[in-house]
Amino acid sequence: MPDIIQLLPDNIANQIAAGEVIQRPASAVKELLENAVDAGATEIRLIVNDAGKSLMQVIDNGKGMSETDARMSFERHATSKIKNIDDLFQVRTMGFRGEALASIAAVAQVELKSRRAEDELGTYVEIENSAVIKQEPCACPLGTSISMKNLFFNIPARRNFLKSNAAEMRHIIDEFIHVAMAFPHIFFSFTANGVEQFHLEAGSLKQRILQLMGNQHSSKLVQVKEDTDYMNISGFVGKPETARKTRGDQYFFVNNRFIKSPYLNHAVMSAFEGMLPKDCFPLYVLFIDLDPTQVDINVHPTKQEIKFEDEKIIYAFVQAAVKHSLATFSVAPSLDFTL
Ligand code: ADP
Ligand code: MG
């Protein structure tokens, strides 16, 4: 009997791996936006057409890439962000796996333009099915522009699984909001089908919350801020009157990464105990910062689930910090609230 095992060709292996990272247009948007943040951009523009199905493009004014890096960035496990396993537990960047661009290049037609400050000319790279089909010098502004066309053009089964444009747009907007909320000092713009949906001037976190959630909240946000040697918490919780029947406006960030944590959500809700109408949820935007060694972000490819070294301490801290903030404001309650 002959041997039967063979290595998959690179482009197939990349397509399979891409399934974990790029599930839908919104996952690609997240990866591209995070790369722009990691590149130190102060201005980031997102453009999508047909809910990302025909085009997703992110343009940043970050540090750009050299000619070689521009090509290397699409290789699997190619990253400038970590060098060894110890770095993995110290990462401060949003990315570190070196898998996003390789995945993107496996499932869409990609064009990249990038230029560093020290280079007169930038680099243009065109990729299809994980292969570079064109690379040449080009004149371009400082920074990077990556566009992905026709997502899953080469995997019809997956393309058919995409939801309606309205549903995919909703996911894209969620990812956009997560990144824009975490980096209020960066200007963001988001254009869909030629119409600008968001135009977010750089500013404070409070300004960004109001830009994203509406100015009606401006007098209803209570600041949360506690620092200890172990961790810091900062951000805002809405006064009880902001509570809604849906959980939509609740955001937790750990080291600037949006996470989903029913456990920490419970900590916040318990701090509000007795203050909320039944089945209502207050808005909050909270940032926890702690030593990266105290948290494992490498438990899920999308990094939305994380593991804390000591979950109980964090719970108690979040609960205490929010309680403390709510107590300061209710010492001088607004009239309509005391009724
Ligand atoms: P990761 O972000 O995990 O390192 P990616 O596949 O997302 O992996 O990107 C690979 C590399 O390409 C990054 O480490 C970075 O060096 C470079 N890169 C990607 N996007 C940009 C960008 N917008 N500006 C500058 N460099 C970028
Ligand atoms: Mg990345």
| Residue 253 to residues 157, 181, 230, Cα–Cα distance (Å) | 34, 9, 16
Top-level class of domain 10-200: alpha beta
Name 142's Cβ contacts closer than 8 Å, sequence gap at least 6. 61, 64, 115, 116, 117
Ligand 1 centroid to 155 CA: how many Å?
24
Q: Which of 172, 171, 242, 254 is nearest to 213 (CA)?
A: 242
Residue 93 alpha carbon, nearest atom of ligand 1: 2
Range 202-217 average pLDDT = 95
How many Å apart are CA 91 and CA 73, to the nearest integer? 18
What pLDDT was estimated at residue 337?
A: 47
Contact 98, 79 (CB under 8 A): yes
This prediction has a pTM of 0.93
Is the distance from the beta carbon of residue 81 to the nearest atom of ligand 1 less than 6 Å?
A: yes
What is the predicted pLDDT for the residue at 132? 95
What is the per-residue burial (b if ≥16 Cβ within 10 Å, else e) of 86-125? eebeebebbbbbbbbbbbbbbbbbbbbbbbbeebeebbbb
What is the average pLDDT across 44-51? 98
CA atoms within 13 A on the CB side of 244: 9
Cα 255 to middle of ligand 2, angstroms: 16
For the cut 50, the answer to whether the pLDDT of residue 339 exceeds it is no
> 18: CA distance to ligand 1 center in Å?
16
62 lines ligand 1 (CB under 6 A): yes
Nearest CA to ligand 1 atom 16: 80
Determine if ligand 1 sits within 6 Å of the CB of residue 213.
no
Q: What is the pLDDT of residue 21?
A: 87
Q: Is the CB of 39 under 6 A from ligand 1?
A: yes
**What pLDDT shows up at residue 108?**
96
Q: Output the pLDDT for position 88.
A: 82
The dotted CATH code for 209-338 is 3.30.230.10
Q: What is the mean pLDDT of residues 216-244?
A: 93
Centre of ligand 1 to C-alpha 289, Å, is 23
Nearest ligand atom owner, CA of 30: 2
- Averaged confidence pLDDT in the chain: 92
**What is the percentage of the chain residues whose pLDDT exceeds 70?**
96
Where are the domains positioned within the chain?
10-200, 209-338
> Is residue 14 lining ligand 1, measured as CB closer than 6 Å?
no
Coil, helix or strand at residue 277: coil
Task: Give the distance (Å) from ligand 1 centre to CA of residue 79.
Answer: 6
pLDDT of residue 338: 40
Angle at 260 between CA 241 and CA 150, to 5 degrees: 110
How would you write 223-243 as a 3-class SS string?
EEEEECCCEEEEEEEECHHHC
Write down the ipTM of this complex: 0.99
Is pLDDT above 60 for 336? no
**CA 9 – CA 11 distance, rounded (Å):** 6
Residue 330: band (very low, low, confident or very high) from pLDDT cuts 50, 70, 90: low
